[in-house]
Amino acid sequence: MRTPDHPAADRGARASGPAPGRDEIVAMLAGLDGRSVRDVSESIESMELAWLLHQVEQRYGVRVELDEDQYGRMTTIDDAVDVLREAIGAA
Amino acid sequence: MAGPEWVDEVLLRGPDAQVCLHVDGPVNRAALRRMVAERRARLEAAGLRAGGSLVLRLPPSLAFVANLLAGWRIGAQVALLDHRLTPFEVGAALDRLAPQVVVAPGAVRGNPLRAFADVEETTTPHPGRPAATPHAVIQLSSGSTGPSKVIGRTAADLIAEVDRYTRIDGVPLPGERIVVLASMVHVLGLVGALLYGLHAGVQVRPPERLTGDSVLDAVAAETSPATVLGVPFHIGLLASVAEPPRLPQLKRMTTGGELVPAATATAFLDKYGVPLGNMWGMTEVGVIATDLFGAHRPALTPAPGLAVVERAGELLVSRPESPYVGLSDPTRWSDGWLHTRDAGVVDPDTGLVTIKGRLDSQVSVGGLKVDLTEVEATLTALPGVEAAVVLHDEAITGYVQLAPGVSVDAVRAGLAERLAGYKRPRQLHVLAAMPRTTTGKLVRDRSVLRQAPRQGR
């Protein structure tokens, strides 16, 4: 079941830096279905991508605008860290 | 049997100026009729005729809507392939379906978060056969054994489902809006939003993007009442919006695809103060039972005109004809009853239906049905895989034993070629040896598999 069990609780941690780091991204992905951080896969599939960008928008209070190249690169957690730093980190 | 005029009479009819869709701007009925006529000319130029066969491999988009309606208006059979299928899966499907014309994306503009893609399609003749059955729409299910099942529905069956919707208390009313998050390539978005909306005069409006803020923007964009239609994943998007604006137009959110935990429903209700409706349906039938006011959770009321019974723990739904093409399997359909493969009970006093889970290995990933046996068979068939077990453990999880020298990356690459992303295991654990019973069968107990010795990553 990919329904967040306690979605409201996800907002506990507000953005700590200009863009999310690896640990924050892993925690956001874990929030999708309540799995443990240890069980979050390195690769990011389409529904996880939508969830991640939605979570970043909520926590950082920004609209994340990515170009096609950036979307294409969002395939692993490390790539997501880089792309999100490019997209919102400099703001 | 309905002739192709049903498309005009049931779906396209209405005042020219009535806005029936809203995709990056309003689309009124006159504009939609023009789009359908234009696609009809293109499909006919590619050789499509009444009784012919068409495959649509398009993401949800105006191009998808226009080609679907045009194919039906010609009187052709239209098969829908999910645009996320890999080239390998598409090839297998085209071999199986043998369509005469294929419509596929040429250029797709924009980003993967868009609810409706901006697609310029290609329309290509294909060396296939005319439709072998009178079905208007053909869909493939994720197959439990061997090839996937081919599911067919006639125009009359689709019209009957649209009519069922009009008789369910709590559906969006004429003049209202549906903000659709569910894919229109699958039955919930296809009939529950697109066909019902066109028929009833309910504007169908995908949000610009599939994020919480964008969904709420779509609701807020007009003053008419709006129902959000999606799958449970989308409840999570809305329930985690930090500070949603007050939205008096938001009438209800309705989801199908899988059961919603009570805690999720409560969180949604607390935040938005509107009902979270629940629907149960299948590709084979469409909507079967609903609880649009969230009054009976988790129980559901059978839709008007359908009967649901429980036999030996399994829910059966009335369906006069078998929906399966080229398959005669009495364990799936017999004597007017479709076996849902859902375990459940029917309350003898109220008729309310409660679903207790699946009786087979089908799981739901974001509302898309995936049969784990298909995933396991694909994994097992890859070169270098000696044995494999696939389970659903929060997410699809694979355990494999590999031949010496075979890397897990090679296995992942093989899966990526053969299975659409949503079907692939999110976790792939390589075990030194698969646990087996004393008779040599693979052990499927997840606690045993979790603790089995790993062989590196």
Q: Give domain limits for chain B.
A: 6-294, 364-451
Distance between CA atoms of residues B89 and B92, nearest Å: 5
- pLDDT, tens only, A25-83: 999 998 887 778 888 888 888 888 999 999 999 999 888 888 888 988 999 999 999 99
- pLDDT, tens only, B331-361: 899 999 999 999 999 999 999 999 988 888 8
The CATH H-level superfamily of B6-294 is ANL, N-terminal domain (3.40.50.12780)
How many C-beta atoms lie closer than 10 Å to residue B278's C-beta?
A: 26
* Omega of the bond leading into B298 within 30 degrees of 0 (cis): yes
Domains of chain A are 20-89 (1.10.1200.10)
Interface of B with A (CB under 8 A): 84, 111-113, 210-213, 232-233, 235-237, 239-242, 258-261, 263-264, 267, 270-271, 364-366, 394-395, 421-422, 424, 426-427
Beta pairing class for B301-302 and B286-291:
antiparallel
Mutate one of A11, A54, A68, A69 to test the B interface: name it (highest B CB count within 10 A). Answer: A54
Residue B230, judged by CB atoms within 10 A of its CB (0-12, 13-18, 19+), counts as: buried
Q: Measure CB to CB from residue B233 to each of A10, A47, A49 and give the nearest one.
A: A47
Give residue A7's pLDDT.
Answer: 42
Q: Is the Cβ pair A49, B112 closer than 8 Å?
A: yes
The domain B364-451 is placed in CATH, from the list 3.30.300.30, 3.90.440.10, 3.30.470.10, 3.40.50.720, at 3.30.300.30
Min Cα–Cα distance to chain A from B396, Å: 10
Cβ-based contacts of B355 with chain A (< 8 Å): none
Distance between CA atoms of residues B264 and B236, nearest Å: 8
Alpha carbon separation from B56 to A61, B74, B172 (Å, rounded): 39, 15, 28
**More confident call, B294 vs A2:** B294
Distance between CA atoms of residues B285 and B44, nearest Å: 30
Dihedral pair phi/psi, residue B218, rounded to 5°: -65, -40
Nearest to B369 by CA among B109, B191, B139: B139
pLDDT grade for A12, boundaries at 50, 70 and 90: very low
Distance between CA atoms of residues B84 and B422, nearest Å: 8
Q: Is the Cβ pair A49, B113 closer than 8 Å?
A: yes
B402, pLDDT greater than 60: yes
Distance between CA atoms of residues B450 and B457, nearest Å: 14
Does ipTM surpass 0.95 in this model? no
Nearest to B211 by CA among B178, B236, B190: B236
Adjacent-strand bridge partners of A79: none
Distance between CA atoms of residues A10 and B428, nearest Å: 27
Q: Is the Cβ pair A34, B394 closer than 8 Å?
A: yes
Adjacent-strand bridge partners of B397: B391, B427
- Joined together, the tokens standing for residue B239 give 């329930």
- Joined together, the tokens standing for residue B51 give 């009784």
Whole-model pTM over 0.80: yes
